[in-house]
Amino acid sequence: MFVLIFIFITTLYAQIFVGQSLCSTLTSTNCGTDALNGQGWCYWDSTIATPACLTLPCYLIDEVAACRTGGSLITGGANTDCDSLETFSLQYDNVCCDKNLGKLNYAFVRFTMNFDGYVDSTNDITPIPMASLDISLSVKDMFRLYTINPWLAAQETVESVFQDKLIAILDKYLEPNTRDVLISEPKSYPFYIERTVYQALQLLRDWTVMHKSTIALRNAILPKIWSVALVALTRMTKFQPNYYQSNHYIINFAIIPYFKNSLKILGQAHTLTIDWNAFAYNSNGFVMVYSYPPEQFGIIKAYTDVICIRPFQGGSVLYVDTQDNYDDTFSQIKFIYYWADSIIIDQTKLKLFQISDDTQTITDTGSSFTCNQSSRTCTTNTNYSPNPAPTDGKGQNYFIAHVDYNLLQSDKKRAQCILAYKTWTTSCA
């Protein structure tokens, strides 16, 4: 009897539970292989000097058991840096977040991937190579375009191959013959173009974090993503000219005619209203906006998403490859920032920043704000007009942040650090 109890207790102690293995104890052969050996929380990193089995950054973890605190979990694992999300949504794959964050971070949402079909052909009985697919032939061919699967690029391990595969898809959406159909075909639903944008953003972000790629990868892919975003916006102005808005966590879209005078952009725990009531225009046009949380590019602690305003004057928006046909006269803009969480905003430290399309150049516009802590709003003291007035027709990008928002690299967690192209060891430098 005592022997039996002894055996029972010993077995209980020797039991390894899912989420418990330390990645650092695993080898290249068992790192991430099965439920007990790091599947869903470890990955083999061959990019470091001494390749090793590492714990995934919190947002990339699939196995929630690895980041739950307490219970049977041993110290030193994923639960050192991560917590379990309190609530999951089946819309995204995230189950863990950075320690003490307590919630999903919109900049790091992972949409569920599928690996059906092909990255360079349609998913048909007889697949059509992407290069020869002509979507102007029929609506059926347009729908075939949507079966080409960008998620498959995630499986590539060589940077140039990953880049080429993803860019080939983006270029397909941008080639004049395809893009003209997507913009003007009555059955072209904007969602499919939006989906390509958020898939590409997620793929770029996660490939960068996993493989510590260079900024050259972002510089090659990001302009193409923004171009597809503009195709989506242009489609929206024809699809639903009086208003269209959609939110996909890592990217949001909205279009509205000038005559509606203002637009409220939703972000995580905040909104940013653009009000052009004081802007005098001599014919109607459209305010088109895409917005994104800048943390996906390593810019932390901004109060608002980056809002990219593409104003177009005229009744029918024209997409041009040079993307320099936007309204330079768009000005006299009032910005109203509203925050939903309980933070105190110091209005003397609040800045409106301008940011370049490649996210690398950030300048203070010099605007000042007046805040009301009880209504949780800050409003620009005078209407903002770009100075000097733009002459390149490229549109305007802004975000609001504390003056010192990005000062300390050491405030960045691992994924944020890699996305800012800084050096991560155990902290960011």
Ligand X SMILES: *[C@@H]1O[C@H](CO)[C@@H](O)[C@H](O)[C@H]1NC(C)=O
CB of 346 to ligand X, least distance (A): 16
Whose Cβ is closer to ligand X: residue 374's or residue 391's?
Answer: 374
- Determine the distance from the C-alpha atom of residue 45 to the mean position of all C-alpha atoms in its chain, rounded to a whole number: 23
* Contact (Cβ atoms closer than 8 angstroms) between residue 97 and residue 83: yes
CB of 375 to ligand X, least distance (A): 3
CB of 405 to ligand X, least distance (A): 25
Return the structure tokens found at 338.
């509203």
Whose Cβ is closer to ligand X: residue 372's or residue 423's?
Answer: 372
Whose Cβ is closer to ligand X: residue 376's or residue 422's?
Answer: 376
The angle at the Cα of 285, spanning 378 to 366, to the nearest 5 degrees, equals: 30
CB of 340 to ligand X, least distance (A): 14
Whose Cβ is closer to ligand X: residue 368's or residue 385's?
Answer: 368
d(CA 143, CA 145): 5
The 40-79 site mask, x for binding ligand X (CB under 6 A), equals: ----------------------------------------
Whose Cβ is closer to ligand X: residue 374's or residue 426's?
Answer: 374
Segment 359 to 418, residues that bind ligand X, using CB under 6 A: 372, 374-375
Whose Cβ is closer to ligand X: residue 245's or residue 379's?
Answer: 379
Q: Which pairs with CB-CB distance under 8 Å and at least 24 residues apart come from 146-149?
A: 146/192, 146/195, 147/117, 147/122, 147/123, 148/117, 148/118, 148/119, 148/120, 148/121, 148/122, 148/123, 148/172, 149/114, 149/115, 149/116, 149/117, 149/118, 149/119, 149/123
Whose Cβ is closer to ligand X: residue 280's or residue 344's?
Answer: 344
* Contact (Cβ atoms closer than 8 angstroms) between residue 330 and residue 396: yes
CB of 336 to ligand X, least distance (A): 13
CB of 381 to ligand X, least distance (A): 13
Number of residues located near ligand X, criterion CB under 6 A:
3
Whose Cβ is closer to ligand X: residue 73's or residue 371's?
Answer: 371
Return the structure tokens found at 125.
């009985």
CB of 121 to ligand X, least distance (A): 57
d(CA 257, CA 241): 7
d(CA 157, CA 141): 31
Return the structure tokens found at 311.
């104003």
Whose Cβ is closer to ligand X: residue 110's or residue 376's?
Answer: 376
CB of 379 to ligand X, least distance (A): 10
Among 292, 75, 280, 85, residue whose Cα is nearest residue 201:
292
Query: DSSP string covering 180-245, please?
Result: HHHHH-TT--HHHHHHHHHHHHHHHHHHHHHHT--HHHHHHHHHHHHHHHHHHHHHHHHHSTT-EE
CB of 364 to ligand X, least distance (A): 25
Question: What are the distances in angstroms from CA 341 to CA 270, 292, 338, 345?
Answer: 8, 19, 10, 11
List interacting residues with ligand X (CB under 6 A): 372, 374-375
